[in-house]
Amino acid sequence: MATEKDCLDLIQNTPTRDRTFAEFVSILFKDKIVEVYVGDSYEDIKLEQHSQQYPAIFCGKVVGAYKECLILMSAYSEGNEYKMGGIFIVNERAIKALREASTKTKISDMFLDSEDSVSVAKRFG
């Protein structure tokens, strides 16, 4: 997993600071599996008094970047099996959030209710 130190070192070692977001991400997460959230919902489930939106996530291995485009080897499901294959290119302007994929958490776990900020501040502040 990329660390806070990895991010700060990469920023510090960028001589001209003219790297695009996609280029920064491609260096930081080279050959890693990442989740890319583009702000859309994959599914909306509506019950009588409650609705739940599930964020749309693209998943793939970081291959590289070209200017403002992040290049991934995409992950996809075929039946009950996950596979890797096919280049997926996303413009950095479409990316709302991105993180390295984990076996313990997923990007949707990071979407907190505004009331949670008080608890987070008490615990980590």
pLDDT of residue 95: 94
The SS3 assignment for 45 reads strand
pLDDT of residue 65: 97
Tell me the angle at which helices 4-12 and 21-28 cross, rounded to the nearest 10 degrees: 130
Ranges of each domain in the chain: 4-124
Please name the CATH architecture into which domain 4-124 falls: Roll (2.30)
Residue reference for tokens 């615990």? 123
Q: What is the mean pLDDT of residues 97-109?
A: 88
Number of alpha helices (DSSP H) and beta strands (DSSP E) in the chain:
3, 5
Does the pLDDT value for residue 51 go beyond 80? no
Q: Tell me if 45 sits within 8 A of 1, measured CB to CB.
A: no
pLDDT of residue 71: 98
DSSP state of 32: -
pLDDT digits 0-9 by tens, 53-100: 777 888 999 999 999 999 999 999 999 999 999 999 999 999 999 999
